[in-house]
Structure 1
Amino acid sequence: MIANDISVRILFLSQTVFGTLGNSFILGFYIITSVRGLRLKPTDFLLSQLSLANSLVLLSKGIPQLMVILRRNNFLDDVGCKLLFYIHRVARGLSLSTTCLLSGFQAITISPMSSRWAEFKTRVPKCIVPSCLLCWILNLLTNCIILVYMKAPVRRENTTKIQDFIFCSVSIHASLITSLYTFIISIPDVVCLGIMIWASSSMVFVLYRHHQRVQHIHSTRLSPRASPVVRATQTILLLVIMFVSFYSLNSILVLHMIFVKSQPWLVNSSALLAAEFPSFSPFVLTSTDSRIPKYFLALWSRLKPSFSPSPLRY
Structure 2
Amino acid sequence: MKKITPRDLALGIIFILQIMIGILGNFSLLYRYLFLYHSQCRMRATVMILKHLTIANFLIILSKGAPHTIRALGWKHVFSDFACKLLLYVDRVGRSLSFGITCLLVIFQTVTISPMNSCWKNLKVKAPKYIAFSIAFCWIQCLFVNLIFPLHTLYVSDKWHSTNMTNTRDFGYCVATDLENISGSIYVALVVFPEMSFSVLIFWASGSMILTLYRHERQVQYIHKASVSPRPSAESRATQSILLLSSTFMCFHTLSSIFNITLAIFHNPSWWLVNTTSLISMCFPFISPFLLMSRDSTLSILCIH
Fold shared by both chains (TM-score > 0.5): yes
Whether the 8 Å CA contact 1:58–1:279 is kept in 2: the answer is yes
Structure 1 vs Structure 2: percent identity of aligned residues?
A: 37
Return the alpha-carbon distance in structure 1 between the equivalents of residues 296 and 60 of structure 2: 23
Unaligned runs of 5+ in 1: 296-314
Return the alpha-carbon distance in structure 1 between the equivalents of residues 9 and 195 of structure 2: 32
Which of 131, 135, 140 is the aligned partner of 2:134?
Answer: 131
1:51 maps to 2:54: yes
Query: Which residue of the partner structure matches residue 261 of structure 2?
Result: 255
Whether the 8 Å CA contact 1:50–1:94 is kept in 2: the answer is yes
Aligned-pair CA distance for 1:157? 2.1
Aligned-pair CA distance for 1:5? 4.2
1:275 maps to 2:282: yes
Say which is worse superposed, 227-236 or 62-71, in terms of deviation: 62-71
Distance 1:65-1:188 versus aligned 2 partners, 3 A rule: same
Aligned-pair CA distance for 1:294? 11
Say which is worse superposed, 198-207 or 164-173, in terms of deviation: 164-173
Which of 227, 241, 248 is the aligned partner of 2:233?
Answer: 227
Return the alpha-carbon distance in structure 1 between the equivalents of residues 232 and 246 of structure 2: 20
Bigger CA radius of gyration: 1
1:272-294 CA deviation, whole Å, 9 max, x = no partner?
11111111110111111134699
Unaligned runs of 5+ in 2: none
Aligned-pair CA distance for 1:179? 1.2
Which of 54, 68, 73 is the aligned partner of 1:70?
Answer: 73
Return the alpha-carbon distance in structure 2 between the equivalents of residues 209 and 5 of structure 1: 52
Whether the 8 Å CA contact 1:161–1:173 is kept in 2: the answer is no
Which of 88, 107, 122 is the aligned partner of 2:110?
Answer: 107
Distance 1:260-1:66 versus aligned 2 partners, 3 A rule: closer
Return the alpha-carbon distance in structure 2 between the equivalents of residues 72 and 145 of structure 1: 29
Aligned-pair CA distance for 1:22? 0.6
Return the alpha-carbon distance in structure 2 between the equivalents of residues 292 and 108 of structure 1: 22
Query: Which residue of the partner structure matches residue 305 of structure 1?
Result: none
Superposed, 1:147-166 pairs within 5 Å as 147-148=150-151, 149=153, 151-152=156-157, 153=159, 154-158=161-165, 160-166=166-172
The size of the alignment, in residue pairs, is: 293
1:250-270 CA deviation, whole Å, 9 max, x = no partner?
111111121245222111111
Return the alpha-carbon distance in structure 2 between the equivalents of residues 293 and 222 of structure 1: 22
1:11-34 CA deviation, whole Å, 9 max, x = no partner?
232122111111111111112222
Query: Which residue of the partner structure matches residue 20 of structure 1?
Result: 23
Which of 277, 286, 293 is the aligned partner of 2:293?
Answer: 286
Return the alpha-carbon distance in structure 1 between the equivalents of residues 101 and 208 of structure 2: 18
Return the alpha-carbon distance in structure 2 between the equivalents of residues 115 and 294 of structure 1: 24
Return the alpha-carbon distance in structure 2 between the equivalents of residues 65 and 292 of structure 1: 37
